[in-house]
Structure formats: structure tokens, C-alpha cells
């Protein structure tokens, strides 16, 4: 049933992603980005995707490669404009890709809401700004709030550090970022990790993503990239 | 994540007597799909854990903040910092994880549990659940996580004796006790039989020590789907 | 400023609690209950308190002792009725104490909302039940939800396992329960721990409550109690 | 938790020249109360970290999920899994903690940070902030965590040059650029002076290399609180 499956390859991990799917992609810049899963998704061929991620790709790798391959119809993100986001910039300026800009905290909280069964929530972020347009406003205890709705994914592709065979996850440092939230918000959560260990090998007090949120795990030789001063 | 429960999964038990709660717990345990994430309510449903084999891969959730809860702790294994939702000391299985209350209820309310099995005062034919309050004016009300499980688990099952001590049915056309959740229960396990309930009404899946027609008559069930034998 | 202060005694830790204050008290039954802080609060003498906690006391210890001392005007909790909750039961039946019953998940999520700057949220729990009374209802995507508001505390009294000198906290097993959520929801968070270690001695990946949420820490010889089959 | 910032805390700096951004960073660092929890925005504000002494006990938050962030990482200390909000590799101080994005923004939006210091395109006399979008039709908009910090930190301070390259003031009666937040900024640090802004209008706290009257005239500030000397 829901129990996580350890698969042999990144290609097996992304099997079944349909054209038009909404895919949550982990990472803040390149930290935590699931490079191998994205490359497998490019090989897999699904197109017309909606990608939910904090950024819109750096350089030519990861999310930028998926965008360059023409598979993405729309990006939902908080910070597309970076020094090395030339792939997205070109597609955006030529009208080949749609952008929904969401403040970073709303991006995280709206995915949390999806995972937590919250129908909508009132948040003060963006009050009085252009990003409040089209949103319902309400005053509570003298403060103004906007109504925000959940963001759900058909798939989440995330990177973590260690998994046990049941699917419990730990992360490394700030590469944790969106992984734990996205894992709760997708119908199918796919994780690439550096290492898979036996159940019982992770400290139960230090598990960050409990196994219930994980569907497929693949162990890879994770490559790590830095972006110097990019944002 | 796929739907945890297939109504045809449980091999019907042929019994010529009403089941004890322990026998019933074994029936329920056999119905739980391998690898499912399950919450067992306080009281009778906790017995189900005793009938789950390790090989089933069923993972137990306890709402006070843990996955992969093990059996009740005995003797030196008792740790006051490790209890189930009934505040009974329990143990930890390999692959356990701890989390705080907001995270635990996010898990419950977000639809991630495959099955929960709860006790009940009454269940309505349409799946309404009453299990938190008798409505008696001098009663101290207490709800705990029952309403969260009722709206949150993919499948809400009930385990209860079919009749009260004064022989009143607890599976009823409409609950008279205050509700815990509306239309949330899909299956009711009782000592006299197993029932599928919900928007399409009630259907008897199997009976124990009583004929289906007789049971349908006692409960006032008129659904033609009810099988003719018991 | 906000930096946590290590104090020498439970009495120093609860100094300043005003009459009429709202106090969030950690623990699920007796697991995680901050016994020493509650006893100090009884000695401190604040009265007319509103207590927010999952239960309403067990036996004669902890929260039950505070109730027995006549300091509590109102209890906000999910599960007051237990086999050994005779102190609360007597006060409730005699009309000496007010009860606001909140489903456990709403109790947790409403405190999280207070800590997270959420003005209110829509949740499906309690729809169609007596606990929906007086709440605003809304249909979202075909499902019915109730509007829930934050619960804030003037103080939170919680138990944890280890603290470092900055105030980072770890917990033990299911004694974690409400501690991390209450720590975010109170103006002043007071923690009793088994052990205080130097900054750098806790694994940064395994910190559960970051130091920013903690105001006062006291090290005690925590007593642990069990309730057998109480709830 | 108490209010982090006392407007009288910063010892006025007497300078006979406009400050460099580095000198300004030192002024801001000196204003940050000991033990405060602080978020430094990307760009110029990150320089402030270089002027915070370890003994100040100031704890830096980075919105990508960390408290007690250390200085920029160099050489072998670079770990691609450990960056600041500007995606620059940084280090970890003793007492650090990591958390995920929803927890990090709960911390920001819940009012737990004492101070954040952000860059800006414009600040309005009433404390409006514009720092995410020039409004140019061909610009790719990006907001990141700016709007969350604007509504969330107890004190929102801005660090910016007071004038654009074409000598237009960036502290203005009303922002013409798209807003990040309304009435959220309480103090503006610039190369020419420090300003208190908000509902009561703008007040010059100190000036660098220019008289307060002259500065008030250039900016169109008419507040009588403005001190007569600079």
C-alpha cells in the first residue's frame, strides 16, 4: 500500500509522471535540488508540466535543463530572477513559459496546508502589494490578511541525505529547505538520497520526514553544486 | 498514495457464534492491507495490534506523536516518556519516528493515514459517527483526536459490540448521540457481523452466529444487497 | 534581548506570571508535563488563570495540583475526562471551573497558527458536530470547513529533555507532544529540562525547538509518572 | 519576548563625509541589540555580519532554514548544502539549528525575529517599502522572502544609498515602485544619514557630511522634529 518502495534507478523513480502533471521540485537554488530525478524526468518525456519550486533554474543544470528541454508550461515560484537564470529569463521574455509568482513563505505554507488538510488560511504577507490582487482580504483583530489556498502536487521530486528502508528521511544542513514540506503535499513523493540504511539505523528523534510521506526512494551519487552570489 | 482498503480483501469468517472482542480484533487485523499506515483508537481497537504480524508491515501511528509504535511495554521496558494515545506505556519498533502534535495532526488531517479503527457509541447507516459524548447533562465531555481522525483518515472503520447492554442497536438509521463526524465511517465491525455503511446505506458483509435476514430485521436494514445467508 | 536565560530555580523560571494570565502547559497526560514549573507556579501564587493543555490533570500531581489549589478559572483542552481526573471532574461538576473543549488537532494547529502569524484557518474537523457551534463555515472545492482562530499564551510552561545554553531544545520520545508548538505560541516560554549542555553540543540537525522560541530554562531532576490505561 | 530595538541605542556617529556602505554596515551593526535574532537581506545588508562581534551574541537567521549562521565559507569550508539566502556558501556557529521552509517562515511571519535589515529601491516617509520589482515591463519579477520579512520582523530596517545614480532620492513621500509592504519600515540607514520613518512621518536621526536642514530640504522633509544640526 503506502509503504515506500526502494527502486533501482532514477528512471524507475520517476516512472508514470503524466503530461500536464504538477510537480513540486525541491531545492533552494542548487542546494537540495534532485538533479538525478530531474534528468530522469527529462528522459521520461512528460511535457506540459507545472513546476512548483523556489527558483526557476540556475545555469544549465537541474531545473534549468528541464526548462531548456521545453517540458514546462508554467512555473510557480518565489524567485525566478537570478544572475544565472538565463534559461528561464529567455523563455519568460519570449512568452514561452507562464510564471505565477508567490512569496516564499506563502509557497511553503500553502504546500504545508495541502499536506495538513487545511482548506485555506489568512496570512498578512503581500497585503497592500500587487501580489494581493485577486485575493480575498479580511481584517482579524485589527490586522489585514489575505486568504491563501493550498498548493498540491501530483508528484514531489526531492533530494534528501539518508533514508531508511521504510522511507524515513534526514537531510543535510540548508539543503533541507522545501523537501519536508513538499513530501507532505504530493500524491506521490519521490526522493533521491545519498545513502539508504536499514530501518532502525536512523535516530527516531532526528527523523525529519516520517516514512508515511515517502513513496519511492533511489540511492544516487548526488552531485552538489554551488552558486556564488547568484540570487 | 493509493486507496488502502479493498472491500473484498477480508476473507469472510464463518462463525456459528457471536465473536468475542478478541476474535473480532483478529478479523479486523486480517483485513488491514500489508504496509498500511494505521491508527487504532483507544479502548477495544488497541487489541487489533496483538493480531498484526510483523511481516504484515503495518505501521501504527499514535496521535501523541509517533509512527511505528510497538506493543505495550512491560516491566523494565516501561518508559513514562513513551505512551500511546491511551497513555499506556508502549515500545518503539525499528524505523520509528517522533514528531510534535501539530505535525502529528497534520498527518492525520491531511489524509495520510490509510485506516483508522475507532470505538463508537453509535454509527448511522449513512456513516455518521458518535463516539465522544453520550449527551448526558452531567457527563464531562472529552473529544481528544476523534474528530480529527473522523475527517482525516482515508478509511474510518468502527469496532464495537452491535448492541448495548440493554439490547439497543448501536448501528442505527440516525445517531441520537452527539456526532463526532458526518458520513465518515465506511465499515463497522461488530460481534454479530461486519457492515459496509455510507451514502448508499448499509450492507451486511458477513454475520457471526446469526442469519443475515434476522440481523437485517433486528436493525431495520432494508437494503436488497444484503446477502441471504449468514 | 530575546536570548534565553538559564535560571537557577523553577521559582525564578515562573517569576512574573500575572493573575488572569493564559498559560500553555505542555504534556499529554503526564508525559512531558513540567511538574517542577507547575509546583513553582503554585508557590508563586498567580490566580484566575486560563490553562491551555491537552488534558485537565491526572491524580493529584502536576496540573491537577494547580487546579486543586484553586488557581484556575478556565481550562482549554481536548480531553479532560480520564480515569484519574477527579480533581477537574469535581470542580467542573460544581461549576467552579469553566471548560472550553477543543479537538486535539485544532488545539495544536491553533497554537501553531499563533506562532506562525496565521490569522485564521479553515479546517474540516468538527463539521456537523456540536463543536461546530458558533463557528463560521465555508465550502472550499466541495468540502465543508470551519474557521479556526489562533490560541496565544502569555506564558508556556513545557518540559524538554536537553537544552543548550542558547535555548535550543531536544525532547524524549512521545514526551515531545505539545512542547514545540506551545514554545512558538507564547510571549514567554519557560522550559524545564533534564540537562543543560554548552552551545555546540546538540546536533543542529536534531534540534526540535530552535533557541529563538525559548526565554527561560531551568535544569531539574525531572520526575516521570505513568498513567496506566487512564484515558 | 520584548521589543528588540531602542531608538536611542545607536551612539550617533559624527562623520564629515557620506559613509561608504561598509562604514554604514558598521553603524547598523552597532545599533543591533545584544542577543537579538536578526535576518540580513541579500545584497548590501549581508555586510553587516562582518561588523558583529561574537560577544554581541546576535544570532543570525537565514530564511532558507537556519539559525546561528556563521560567516561566509572560504576554501575547504565551502559546503554546497550550506548557503545563505543569497545562495552564497556560509558556515555554522555553535548552537546552530536547521529547519524546513514552512518552519523558517513561521518563525519570520510569527513575529519572532527582532530585526531584519533589507535593501530597497524606495522607502516611503510612512514606512512603505519597495524592494522587489522596478515595475519595468520587461523585468522578470522576483520576490523571495521579502514580503514575509516585511510583515513579520518586529523591526524592519532598510540599508540603502540615499540617492539613485541619477541623484533621485530613494526616501520619498510616496513610493512609485510596486510595494513590498505597507508602513512596515521603522528606520532607514543611508550613506547620508539615518532616518526614523513611520505613521508619524520621517525624522532625521543623524547625518553624514551634510547638514540636517540641507538634507531635509533635498528630501522634502518638513517634520519639525528634525534636529537643526548635522
Q: What is the mean pLDDT of residues A8-16?
A: 98
Minimal C-alpha gap between D99 and chain C (Å): 8
Q: How far apart are CA B107 and CA B61, in angstroms?
A: 10
Residue of higher predicted confidence among D54 and D14:
D54
Mean pLDDT of all residues in chain D? Answer: 91
- The pLDDT of residue C173 is above 70: yes
Backbone angles phi, psi at C114, to 5 degrees: -60, -40
Q: Which residue of A has its CA nearest to C117?
A: A123
What is the rounded (10 degree) CA torsion for B78, B95, B66, C182?
Answer: 110
Read off the C-alpha cell for B26: 483478529
Q: How far apart are CA C30 and CA C63, in angstroms?
A: 9
pLDDT of residue B123: 98
pLDDT band (50, 70, 90) for residue C182: very high
CB C152 within 8 A of CB C22: yes
pLDDT of residue D2: 32
Chains that touch D (3 or more CB pairs under 8 A): A, C
**Interface mutation target, options D81, D110, D115, D152, chain C, most CBs of C under 10 Å:** D110
- B100, C131: Cβ pair inside 8 Å? no
- The pLDDT of residue D183 is above 60: yes
Please list, in sequence order, all residues whose beta carbon lies within 8 angstroms of the beta carbon of residue A164, skipping any fewer than 6 positions away: A196, A197, A198, A199, A200, A201, A202, A211, B95
Reference D114, options D47, D182, D31; nearest CA is D31
pLDDT digits (tens, 9 = 90+) for D98-129: 999 999 999 999 999 999 999 999 999 999 99
Q: How far apart are CA B210 and CA B19, in angstroms?
A: 11
- Which 3 state secondary structure label does DSSP give B184? coil
Q: What is the mean pLDDT of residues D213-222?
A: 93
Q: How far apart are CA D144 and CA B214, in angstroms?
A: 66
Choice among B1-10, C188-197, C222-231, D4-13 with the minimum mean pLDDT: B1-10
What is the rounded (10 degree) CA torsion for B166, B167, B173, B174?
Answer: 10
Please list, in sequence order, all residues whose beta carbon lies within 8 angstroms of the beta carbon of residue D230, skipping any fewer than 6 positions away: D193, D204, D206, D207, D210, D211, D212, D213, D214, D215
Sheet strands (E) in D52-144: 59-62, 66-72, 90-98, 115-118, 122-124, 129-130
CB B127 within 8 A of CB B184: yes
pLDDT digits (tens, 9 = 90+) for A44-74: 999 999 999 999 999 999 999 999 999 999 9
pLDDT of residue A82: 87
**Interface mutation target, options A86, A104, A192, chain D, most CBs of D under 10 Å:** A104
pLDDT band (50, 70, 90) for residue C222: confident
What structural domains does chain A harbor? 5-115+150-216 (3.40.1080.10)
Please list, in sequence order, all residues whose beta carbon lies within 8 angstroms of the beta carbon of residue B137, skipping any fewer than 6 positions away: none
Positions of D marked catalytic: 63
Cell 496565521 belongs to C118
What structural domains does chain B harbor? 21-219 (3.40.1080.10)
Choice among A116-120, B70-74, C211-215, C222-226 with the minimum mean pLDDT: C222-226
Q: How far apart are CA D28 and CA D26, in angstroms?
A: 5
Q: What is the mean pLDDT of residues C21-38?
A: 96
Backbone angles phi, psi at D210, to 5 degrees: -155, 145
Mean pLDDT of all residues in chain C? Answer: 95
Read off the C-alpha cell for C186: 507564547
pLDDT band (50, 70, 90) for residue B138: confident
pLDDT digits (tens, 9 = 90+) for B8-58: 444 455 678 999 999 999 999 999 999 999 999 998 999 999 999 888 899
- B95, A213: Cβ pair inside 8 Å? no
Render A159-198 in DSSP notation, one character per residue: E-SEEETT--EE--GGG-TTHHHHHHHEEEEEEEESEEE-
Cell 465518515 belongs to B184
Sheet strands (E) in chain C: 5-6, 22-25, 49-52, 72-77, 98-101, 120-123, 137-140, 143-148, 153-159, 162-164, 169-170, 186-193, 195-197, 216-219
Q: Report yes or no: A148 at the C interface, CB cutoff 8 Å.
A: no
Reference D107, options A173, C2, A207, B97; nearest CA is C2
- The pLDDT of residue B223 is above 90: no
Task: Tell me the chain D residues in contact with residue A179 when contact means C-beta distances shorter than 8 Å.
Answer: 100
Minimal C-alpha gap between B6 and chain C (Å): 24
- B147, C129: Cβ pair inside 8 Å? yes
- C118, A117: Cβ pair inside 8 Å? no
Query: D13: burial class by Cβ within 10 Å (0-12, 13-18, 19+)?
Result: middle
- D67, C210: Cβ pair inside 8 Å? yes
Q: Report yes or no: B54 at the A interface, CB cutoff 8 Å.
A: no
Task: Tell me the chain A residues in contact with residue C123 when contact means C-beta distances shorter than 8 Å.
Answer: 117-119
**Interface mutation target, options C153, C212, C215, chain D, most CBs of D under 10 Å:** C212
Global pTM reads 0.95
Task: Tell me the chain B residues in contact with residue C82 when contact means C-beta distances shorter than 8 Å.
Answer: 87, 142
pLDDT band (50, 70, 90) for residue B227: low
pLDDT of residue D16: 85
Amino acid at each position: 500500500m503506502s509503504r515506500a518502495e526502494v527502486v533501482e534507478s532514477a528512471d524507475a523513480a520517476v516512472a508514470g509522471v503524466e503530461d500536464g502533471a504538477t510537480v513540486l521540485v525541491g531545492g533552494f537554488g542548487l542546494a537540495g535540488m534532485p538533479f538525478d530525478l530531474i534528468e530522469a524526468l527529462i528522459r521520461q518525456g512528460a511535457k506540459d508540466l507545472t513546476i512548483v519550486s523556489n527558483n526557476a533554474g540556475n545555469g544549465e543544470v537541474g531545473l534549468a535543463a528541464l526548462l531548456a528541454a521545453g517540458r514546462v508550461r508554467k512555473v510557480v515560484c518565489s524567485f525566478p530572477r537570478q544572475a544565472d537564470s538565463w534559461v528561464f529569463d529567455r523563455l519568460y521574455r519570449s512568452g514561452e513559459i507562464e510564471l505565477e509568482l508567490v512569496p516564499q513563505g506563502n509557497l511553503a505554507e500553502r504546500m504545508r496546508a495541502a499536506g495538513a488538510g487545511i482548506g485555506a488560511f489568512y496570512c498578512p504577507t503581500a497585503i497592500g502589494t500587487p501580489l494581493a490582487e485577486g485575493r480575498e482580504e479580511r481584517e482579524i483583530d485589527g490586522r489585514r490578511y489575505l486568504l491563501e489556498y493550498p498548493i498540491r502536487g501530483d508528484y514531489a521530486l526531492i533530494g534528501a541525505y539518508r533514508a531508511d528502508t521504510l522511507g524515513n528521511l534526514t537531510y543535510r544542513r540548508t539543503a533541507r529547505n522545501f523537501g519536508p514540506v513538499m513530501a507532505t503535499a504530493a500524491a506521490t513523493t519521490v526522493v533521491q538520497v545519498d545513502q539508504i540504511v536499514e530501518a532502525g539505523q536512523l535516530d527516531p528523534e532526528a527523523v525529519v520526514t516520517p516514512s508515511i510521506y515517502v513513496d519511492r526512494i533511489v540511492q544516487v551519487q548526488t552531485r552538489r553544486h554551488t552558486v556564488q552570489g547568484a540570487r | 498514495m493509493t486507496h488502502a482498503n479493498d472491500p473484498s480483501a477480508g476473507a469472510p469468517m464463518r462463525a456459528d457464534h457471536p465473536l468475542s472482542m478478541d476474535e473480532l480484533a483478529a478479523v479486523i487485523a486480517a483485513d488491514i492491507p500489508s504496509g498500511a499506515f494505521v491508527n487504532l483508537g483507544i479502548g477495544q481497537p488497541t487489541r487489533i495490534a496483538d493480531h498484526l504480524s510483523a511481516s504484515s508491515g503495518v505501521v501504527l501511528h499514535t496521535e501523541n506523536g509517533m509512527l511505528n509504535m510497538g506493543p505495550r511495554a512491560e516491566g523494565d521496558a516501561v518508559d513514562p516518556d513513551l505512551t500511546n494515545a491511551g497513555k499506556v506505556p508502549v515500545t518503539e519498533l525499528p524505523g520509528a519516528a517522533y514528531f510534535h502534535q501539530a505535525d502529528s495532526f497534520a498527518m492525520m488531517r491531511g489524509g495520510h493515514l490509510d485506516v483508522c479503527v475507532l470505538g463508537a457509541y453509535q454509527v448511522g447507516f449513512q456513516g455518521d459517527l458518535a463516539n465522544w459524548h453520550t449527551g448526558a447533562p452531567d457527563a464531562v465531555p472529552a473529544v481528544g483526536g476523534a474528530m480529527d481522525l473522523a475527517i482525516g483518515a482515508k478509511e474510518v472503520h468502527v469496532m464495537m459490540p452491535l448492541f448495548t447492554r440493554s439490547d439497543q442497536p448501536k448501528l442505527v438509521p440516525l445517531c441520537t448521540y452527539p456526532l463526532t463526524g458526518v458520513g465518515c465511517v465506511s465499515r463497522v465491525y461488530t460481534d454479530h457481523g461486519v457492515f459496509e455503511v455510507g451514502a448508499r446505506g448499509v450492507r451486511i458483509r458477513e454475520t457471526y452466529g446469526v442469519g443475515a435476514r434476522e440481523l437485517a430485521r433486528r436493525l431495520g436494514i432494508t437494503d436488497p444487497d444484503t446477502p441471504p445467508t449468514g
